[in-house]
Amino acid sequence: TKTATASAYDLYAVDNDPLPEVGSYDVVLDSKDQAVCIIQIKKVSVVLFKEVSEKHAFKEGEGDKSLDYWRDVHEEFFKPYFEECGLTFTPESLIVLEEFEVVYPTV
């Protein structure tokens, strides 16, 4: 049910990592670092945290799939990483949104 994900734009710069690119492939790992599938990135956009849509939250497929749930868990997730890097997470923080499709299930 998960066809989207989100990451913090500012943390790409801190780690000097490139942003995800449409058409690229990624291997998704489980909690034991075992491959569960291969995905292809179909859409990438950068928006303010406060402007993430209900549609995107639903596509992430977490909790009750609501935007309120998405905001709560993502703010809680991002804040410690920002603090660790000497940054402050706010509703105006930029978020990288990705939409993907599974192209090869390994399970």
Q: Of 69, 59, 61, whose CA–CA distance to 99 is shortest? A: 59
Q: Let me know: does 95 contact 49? Beta carbons within 8 Å.
A: yes
Question: Fold for domain 4-105?
Answer: Sulfate adenylyltransferase (3.10.400)
Single pTM value for the model: 0.91
Tens of pLDDT along 2-30?
999 999 999 998 989 999 999 999 999 99
Tens of pLDDT along 61-95?
999 999 999 999 999 999 999 999 999 999 999 99
CA dist list (Å): 23 to 1, 8, 15, 75, 83 = 20, 20, 22, 28, 32
| Domain segments of the chain as ranges | 4-105
DSSP 50: G
Average pLDDT over residues 46-50: 98
DSSP 66: -
Alpha-carbon distance 15 to 23, whole Å? 22
Tens of pLDDT along 89-107?
999 999 999 999 999 987 6
